[in-house]
Amino acid sequence: MMTDIFIMALSTIGALFILIASYGIYRMPDFYARLSVTIKAATMGIGCILAAAALHFSEFSVTTKALAIVFFLFLTSPVAGFLIGRVAYFTGTKLWKHSIIDEMRNDPESSCAVHEKKKEEPVKKPLPEKEE
């Protein structure tokens, strides 16, 4: 009876986190905020739902698989979100117009080709032709 309450609570909390993630996609102003909300909330939601599944089935094989999935999800989701955001920045995805800080703009290690200042070469004028 007590495990059923934990299962229901974890399932509900997981569903609420996923609902928050989907609402965040709708409400956030730019790609980077949407990515952040989605990665965090969806990871927590899926983790809670898998924990509920592990409690519900209470078999060793199901529990270990669910815990392994949760472990790798918590390990890889932030890294994947970071890399997706970094690639989006390098390819020129615009920040929200009211963004205050752009931490990657002056980062010397970012090797960001988007914001590098181009050195303009002086325009070479053709030499006038000599009359003979």
Report the number of distinct structural domains present in the chain: 1
Q: For a pLDDT cut of 70, what percent of the chain falls above it?
A: 81
Q: Does 23 reside within a domain? A: yes
Locus of tokens 């934990």 = 6
Kindly give, in sequence order, each residue whose CB lies less than 8 Å from that of residue 14, ignoring residues fewer than 6 positions away.
44, 45, 46, 47, 48, 49, 51, 52
Find out whether 76 and 53 touch, Cβ atoms under 8 Å: no
Q: Does 124 reside within a domain? A: no
Q: Does 9 reside within a domain? A: yes
Maximum separation of any 2 CA atoms in the chain, in Å: 108
Per-residue pLDDT reduced to its tens digit, 27-81: 998 898 899 999 999 999 999 999 999 999 989 999 999 999 999 999 999 999 9
pLDDT computed for residue 57 by the predictor: 93
Q: What is the pTM of this model?
A: 0.73
Domain hosting 40: range is 2-90
Find out whether 35 and 79 touch, Cβ atoms under 8 Å: no
- Residue 11 in this model has a pLDDT that exceeds 90: yes
Q: Does 120 reside within a domain? A: no
Q: Does 123 reside within a domain? A: no
Mean pLDDT, range 88-108, rounded to an integer: 79
